[in-house]
Protein backbone atom coordinates (compact mmCIF):
# COMPACT_ATOMS: atom_id res chain seq x y z
CA UNK A 1 0.00 0.00 0.00
CA UNK A 2 1.30 3.45 -0.93
CA UNK A 3 0.22 6.65 0.80
CA UNK A 4 0.40 10.17 -0.63
CA UNK A 5 -0.79 12.34 2.27
CA UNK A 6 -0.38 11.25 5.88
CA UNK A 7 -2.02 13.17 8.73
CA UNK A 8 -0.25 12.60 12.06
CA UNK A 9 -2.22 13.32 15.24
CA UNK A 10 -0.32 14.26 18.40
CA UNK A 11 -1.41 15.60 21.78
CA UNK A 12 1.32 15.97 24.36
CA UNK A 13 3.71 18.50 25.81
CA UNK A 14 4.47 21.49 23.58
CA UNK A 15 8.06 21.65 24.75
CA UNK A 16 10.31 21.91 21.70
CA UNK A 17 12.23 18.78 22.66
CA UNK A 18 9.05 16.78 23.15
CA UNK A 19 7.74 17.68 19.69
CA UNK A 20 11.09 17.48 17.92
CA UNK A 21 11.62 13.91 19.13
CA UNK A 22 8.82 12.89 16.78
CA UNK A 23 11.04 13.75 13.80
CA UNK A 24 12.64 10.30 14.01
CA UNK A 25 9.25 8.76 13.22
CA UNK A 26 8.72 11.31 10.45
CA UNK A 27 12.02 10.25 8.90
CA UNK A 28 11.03 6.57 8.93
CA UNK A 29 7.72 7.42 7.23
CA UNK A 30 9.52 9.49 4.57
CA UNK A 31 12.01 6.71 3.94
CA UNK A 32 9.14 4.26 3.45
CA UNK A 33 7.07 6.60 1.24
CA UNK A 34 9.40 9.34 -0.09
CA UNK A 35 6.61 10.88 -2.16
CA UNK A 36 4.23 11.23 0.80
CA UNK A 37 3.38 14.59 2.31
CA UNK A 38 3.51 14.53 6.11
CA UNK A 39 0.99 16.77 7.86
CA UNK A 40 1.10 17.25 11.63
CA UNK A 41 -2.08 17.93 13.62
CA UNK A 42 -1.19 18.82 17.19
CA UNK A 43 -3.82 19.22 19.91
CA UNK A 44 -2.30 21.97 22.03
CA UNK A 45 -3.53 23.15 25.42
CA UNK A 46 -3.19 26.80 24.42
CA UNK A 47 -2.20 28.97 21.50
CA UNK A 48 1.03 30.90 21.54
CA UNK A 49 3.75 28.35 22.27
CA UNK A 50 7.06 29.28 20.58
CA UNK A 51 7.29 25.68 19.37
CA UNK A 52 4.52 26.30 16.82
CA UNK A 53 6.45 28.48 14.34
CA UNK A 54 9.56 26.38 14.81
CA UNK A 55 7.89 23.06 13.98
CA UNK A 56 5.91 24.54 11.08
CA UNK A 57 9.24 25.09 9.33
CA UNK A 58 10.59 21.57 9.88
CA UNK A 59 11.99 20.20 6.63
CA UNK A 60 10.17 16.84 6.88
CA UNK A 61 6.70 18.36 7.26
CA UNK A 62 4.41 19.61 4.51
CA UNK A 63 2.34 21.43 7.14
CA UNK A 64 1.75 21.66 10.88
CA UNK A 65 -1.57 22.69 12.41
CA UNK A 66 -2.05 23.41 16.10
CA UNK A 67 -5.61 23.18 17.40
CA UNK A 68 -6.06 24.54 20.90
CA UNK A 69 -8.23 22.67 23.38
CA UNK A 70 -8.27 25.60 25.83
CA UNK A 71 -8.79 29.33 25.43
CA UNK A 72 -6.27 31.84 26.70
CA UNK A 73 -2.49 31.63 26.76
CA UNK A 74 0.00 29.10 28.17
CA UNK A 75 0.38 31.37 31.21
CA UNK A 76 -3.35 31.16 32.08
CA UNK A 77 -4.03 28.11 34.32
CA UNK A 78 -7.79 28.81 34.48
CA UNK A 79 -8.48 28.95 30.75
CA UNK A 80 -11.75 27.31 29.69
CA UNK A 81 -11.86 24.22 27.50
CA UNK A 82 -12.85 24.61 23.87
CA UNK A 83 -16.13 22.68 23.28
CA UNK A 84 -15.52 19.29 21.68
CA UNK A 85 -18.05 20.17 18.98
CA UNK A 86 -15.87 23.10 17.91
CA UNK A 87 -12.79 20.89 17.76
CA UNK A 88 -14.72 18.37 15.65
CA UNK A 89 -15.68 21.05 13.11
CA UNK A 90 -12.08 22.25 12.92
CA UNK A 91 -10.74 18.72 12.42
CA UNK A 92 -13.23 17.90 9.68
CA UNK A 93 -12.48 21.17 7.86
CA UNK A 94 -8.73 20.52 8.05
CA UNK A 95 -9.10 16.96 6.81
CA UNK A 96 -11.22 18.07 3.87
CA UNK A 97 -8.56 20.64 3.02
CA UNK A 98 -5.59 18.25 3.25
CA UNK A 99 -7.33 15.13 1.90
CA UNK A 100 -5.16 12.58 3.76
CA UNK A 101 -5.32 8.93 2.75
CA UNK A 102 -3.85 7.79 6.09
CA UNK A 103 -4.47 9.24 9.57
CA UNK A 104 -2.22 8.05 12.41
CA UNK A 105 -2.95 8.62 16.10
CA UNK A 106 0.42 8.55 17.86
CA UNK A 107 -1.04 8.94 21.36
CA UNK A 108 -1.46 5.92 23.60
CA UNK A 109 -3.71 7.31 26.31
CA UNK A 110 -7.12 8.99 26.44
CA UNK A 111 -9.73 9.12 23.71
CA UNK A 112 -9.57 12.75 22.53
CA UNK A 113 -6.92 11.95 19.93
CA UNK A 114 -8.85 8.77 19.05
CA UNK A 115 -11.95 10.84 18.31
CA UNK A 116 -9.95 13.35 16.28
CA UNK A 117 -8.40 10.54 14.24
CA UNK A 118 -11.82 9.02 13.63
CA UNK A 119 -13.34 12.35 12.55
CA UNK A 120 -10.45 13.18 10.23
CA UNK A 121 -10.44 9.77 8.56
CA UNK A 122 -14.20 9.52 8.18
CA UNK A 123 -14.44 13.01 6.64
CA UNK A 124 -12.44 11.93 3.58
CA UNK A 125 -12.62 8.13 3.64
CA UNK A 126 -9.02 7.73 4.80
CA UNK A 127 -7.51 4.74 6.59
CA UNK A 128 -7.10 5.28 10.34
CA UNK A 129 -4.49 3.81 12.62
CA UNK A 130 -3.72 4.02 16.34
CA UNK A 131 -2.73 2.19 19.51
CA UNK A 132 -4.97 -0.35 21.26
CA UNK A 133 -3.73 0.72 24.66
CA UNK A 134 -6.82 -0.48 26.51
CA UNK A 135 -9.90 -2.53 25.73
CA UNK A 136 -12.15 -0.81 23.19
CA UNK A 137 -9.66 1.84 22.03
CA UNK A 138 -8.75 -0.17 18.95
CA UNK A 139 -12.35 0.16 17.73
CA UNK A 140 -11.66 3.78 16.75
CA UNK A 141 -9.21 2.67 14.06
CA UNK A 142 -9.15 0.55 10.91
CA UNK A 143 -5.81 -0.91 12.02
CA UNK A 144 -4.17 -0.74 15.40
CA UNK A 145 -0.82 -1.38 17.05
CA UNK A 146 -0.39 -3.30 20.32
CA UNK A 147 -0.28 -1.57 23.70
CA UNK A 148 2.85 0.25 24.83
CA UNK A 149 3.62 -2.58 27.24
CA UNK A 150 3.31 -5.24 24.53
CA UNK A 151 5.39 -3.17 22.12
CA UNK A 152 8.15 -2.68 24.69
CA UNK A 153 8.18 -6.40 25.45
CA UNK A 154 8.41 -7.33 21.78
CA UNK A 155 11.28 -4.87 21.23
CA UNK A 156 13.13 -5.81 24.40
CA UNK A 157 12.75 -2.31 25.84
CA UNK A 158 12.26 -1.28 29.44
CA UNK A 159 9.40 0.91 30.65
CA UNK A 160 9.12 3.84 30.72
CA UNK A 161 10.42 4.01 27.17
CA UNK A 162 12.52 6.75 25.67
CA UNK A 163 10.25 9.54 24.39
CA UNK A 164 11.52 9.18 20.84
CA UNK A 165 10.68 5.47 20.86
CA UNK A 166 7.07 6.14 21.89
CA UNK A 167 6.06 7.33 18.42
CA UNK A 168 7.10 3.99 17.00
CA UNK A 169 4.42 2.13 18.94
CA UNK A 170 1.79 3.36 16.47
CA UNK A 171 4.08 2.73 13.50
CA UNK A 172 4.36 -0.93 14.50
CA UNK A 173 0.93 -1.36 12.89
CA UNK A 174 2.65 -0.49 9.59
CA UNK A 175 5.60 -2.76 10.27
CA UNK A 176 7.86 0.27 10.68
CA UNK A 177 10.46 0.43 13.45
CA UNK A 178 13.04 2.92 14.67
CA UNK A 179 16.24 0.92 14.06
CA UNK A 180 18.36 3.65 15.71
CA UNK A 181 16.89 6.44 13.56
CA UNK A 182 17.85 9.83 15.03
CA UNK A 183 15.79 12.97 15.39
CA UNK A 184 16.39 15.55 12.65
CA UNK A 185 16.88 19.30 12.63
CA UNK A 186 18.21 21.57 9.93
CA UNK A 187 19.43 25.10 10.58
CA UNK A 188 17.16 27.51 8.72
CA UNK A 189 18.14 30.70 6.90
CA UNK A 190 16.56 32.91 9.58
CA UNK A 191 18.65 31.15 12.21
CA UNK A 192 21.88 31.73 10.31
CA UNK A 193 21.03 35.42 9.79
CA UNK A 194 20.22 35.90 13.47
CA UNK A 195 23.45 34.20 14.54
CA UNK A 196 25.48 36.55 12.35
CA UNK A 197 23.64 39.60 13.71
CA UNK A 198 24.04 38.47 17.31
CA UNK A 199 27.73 37.74 16.83
CA UNK A 200 28.34 41.40 16.01
CA UNK A 201 26.70 42.48 19.27
CA UNK A 202 28.70 40.20 21.56
CA UNK A 203 32.09 41.08 23.06
CA UNK A 204 35.00 39.39 21.36
CA UNK A 205 36.88 36.67 23.19
CA UNK A 206 34.28 35.69 25.77
CA UNK A 207 32.53 32.32 25.81
CA UNK A 208 28.77 32.55 25.29
CA UNK A 209 26.39 30.51 27.46
CA UNK A 210 22.76 30.08 26.43
CA UNK A 211 20.42 29.58 29.37
CA UNK A 212 16.71 28.80 29.11
CA UNK A 213 15.24 28.12 32.54
CA UNK A 214 11.72 27.93 31.12
CA UNK A 215 8.89 25.94 32.68
CA UNK A 216 6.79 29.10 32.85
CA UNK A 217 3.36 27.47 32.62
CA UNK A 218 1.52 26.33 35.74
CA UNK A 219 1.66 22.64 34.82
CA UNK A 220 5.40 22.83 34.10
CA UNK A 221 6.29 24.69 37.31
CA UNK A 222 7.08 21.51 39.30
CA UNK A 223 9.75 20.63 36.71
CA UNK A 224 11.48 24.00 36.90
CA UNK A 225 14.95 23.77 38.47
CA UNK A 226 15.50 25.68 41.70
CA UNK A 227 16.54 29.20 40.74
CA UNK A 228 19.13 29.35 43.53
CA UNK A 229 20.85 26.20 42.28
CA UNK A 230 20.97 27.53 38.74
CA UNK A 231 22.50 30.76 40.05
CA UNK A 232 25.09 28.82 42.06
CA UNK A 233 26.02 26.80 38.97
CA UNK A 234 26.59 29.97 36.93
CA UNK A 235 28.71 31.39 39.76
CA UNK A 236 30.83 28.24 39.70
CA UNK A 237 31.36 28.61 35.96
CA UNK A 238 32.51 32.20 36.53
CA UNK A 239 35.45 30.86 38.56
CA UNK A 240 36.89 29.59 35.26
CA UNK A 241 36.77 33.03 33.67
CA UNK A 242 34.41 35.70 32.31
CA UNK A 243 31.54 34.88 29.98
CA UNK A 244 28.37 36.25 28.40
CA UNK A 245 25.10 34.54 29.29
CA UNK A 246 22.08 34.85 26.99
CA UNK A 247 18.88 34.34 28.98
CA UNK A 248 16.10 33.19 26.67
CA UNK A 249 12.45 32.26 27.13
CA UNK A 250 8.90 33.07 26.12
CA UNK A 251 7.52 36.57 26.86
CA UNK A 252 5.63 35.28 29.93
CA UNK A 253 8.88 33.76 31.28
CA UNK A 254 10.69 37.08 31.63
CA UNK A 255 9.86 37.17 35.34
CA UNK A 256 11.71 33.86 35.75
CA UNK A 257 14.85 35.37 34.25
CA UNK A 258 14.48 38.39 36.51
CA UNK A 259 14.23 36.10 39.54
CA UNK A 260 17.39 34.35 38.39
CA UNK A 261 19.29 37.63 38.05
CA UNK A 262 18.20 38.63 41.53
CA UNK A 263 19.31 35.27 42.93
CA UNK A 264 22.63 35.53 41.10
CA UNK A 265 23.34 38.85 42.79
CA UNK A 266 26.50 40.82 42.12
CA UNK A 267 28.08 39.84 38.83
CA UNK A 268 31.77 38.88 38.99
CA UNK A 269 34.16 40.93 36.87
CA UNK A 270 33.74 40.16 33.19
CA UNK A 271 30.43 38.30 33.51
CA UNK A 272 27.56 39.77 31.50
CA UNK A 273 23.90 38.78 31.23
CA UNK A 274 21.59 39.63 28.34
CA UNK A 275 17.90 38.94 28.95
CA UNK A 276 16.32 38.01 25.60
CA UNK A 277 13.02 36.61 26.89
CA UNK A 278 10.33 37.30 24.31
CA UNK A 279 12.84 38.81 21.87
CA UNK A 280 13.97 35.67 20.06
CA UNK A 281 12.38 32.68 18.39
CA UNK A 282 13.37 29.02 18.35
CA UNK A 283 14.23 29.43 14.68
CA UNK A 284 16.71 32.16 15.67
CA UNK A 285 18.26 30.16 18.48
CA UNK A 286 18.78 26.89 16.61
CA UNK A 287 21.87 28.30 14.90
pLDDT per residue, tens digit, the chain (287 aa), is 899 999 999 997 777 778 899 999 999 999 999 999 999 999 988 776 778 888 999 999 999 999 988 876 656 667 788 899 999 999 999 999 999 999 999 999 989 999 999 999 999 999 999 999 999 999 999 999 999 999 999 999 999 998 899 999 999 999 999 999 999 988 777 767 777 887 888 888 899 999 989 877 777 778 888 999 999 999 999 989 999 999 988 888 899 999 999 999 988 878 999 998 887 666 555 55
Query: Is there a domain that residue 229 lies in?
Result: yes
Same domain assignment for residues 205 and 165: no
- Tell me how far apart the alpha carbons of residues 99 and 121 are, in angstroms, rounded to a whole number: 9
Same domain assignment for residues 112 and 231: no
The tally of domains found in the chain comes to: 2
Return the beta strands (E) in 70-110 as ranges.
Answer: 102-105
Query: Is there a domain that residue 179 lies in?
Result: no
> Containing domain of residue 246, as a range?
189-285
Query: Is there a domain that residue 20 lies in?
Result: yes
Per-residue pLDDT, 281:
65
Query: Is there a domain that residue 213 lies in?
Result: yes
Residue 12 C-beta-side C-alpha neighbours within 13 Å: 21
Same domain assignment for residues 194 and 167: no
CA–CA distance from 29 to each of 2, 69, 164, 171, 172 (Å)?
11, 27, 14, 9, 12
Same domain assignment for residues 54 and 166: yes
Same domain assignment for residues 273 and 137: no
- Tell me how far apart the alpha carbons of residues 97 and 118 are, in angstroms, rounded to a whole number: 16
Query: Is there a domain that residue 39 lies in?
Result: yes
Of 133, 148, 174, the one marking the end of a domain is 174
User: Which run of H or E residues covers position 39?
Assistant: strand 37-44
Q: Taking the mean position of all CA atoms in its chain, how far away is CA 165?
A: 15
Same domain assignment for residues 34 and 111: yes
Query: Is there a domain that residue 184 lies in?
Result: no
Per-residue pLDDT, 286:
57
Per-residue pLDDT, 75:
60
Closest Cα partner for 269 from 235, 246, 231?
A: 235
Same domain assignment for residues 132 and 263: no
Per-residue pLDDT, 284:
56
Per-residue pLDDT, 74:
57
Same domain assignment for residues 253 and 146: no
Per-residue pLDDT, 159:
94
Query: Is there a domain that residue 182 lies in?
Result: no
Same domain assignment for residues 201 and 129: no
Same domain assignment for residues 68 and 199: no
Per-residue pLDDT, 203:
82
pTM of the model: 0.78
Same domain assignment for residues 89 and 213: no
Of 174, 206, 238, the one marking the end of a domain is 174
Per-residue pLDDT, 270:
83
Same domain assignment for residues 80 and 152: yes
Helices vs. strands in the chain: H and E counts, helices first: 11, 9
Query: Is there a domain that residue 180 lies in?
Result: no
Amino acid sequence: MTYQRILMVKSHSMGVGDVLRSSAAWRVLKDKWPQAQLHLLFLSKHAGYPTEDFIRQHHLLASATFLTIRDGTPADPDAKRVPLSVTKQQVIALSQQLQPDLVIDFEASGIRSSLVTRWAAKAVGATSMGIAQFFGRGLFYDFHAPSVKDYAGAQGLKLPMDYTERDFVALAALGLYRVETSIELQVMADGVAYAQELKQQLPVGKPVIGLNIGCGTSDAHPRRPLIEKVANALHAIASDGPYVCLLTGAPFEKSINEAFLQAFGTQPDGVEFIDCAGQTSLVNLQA
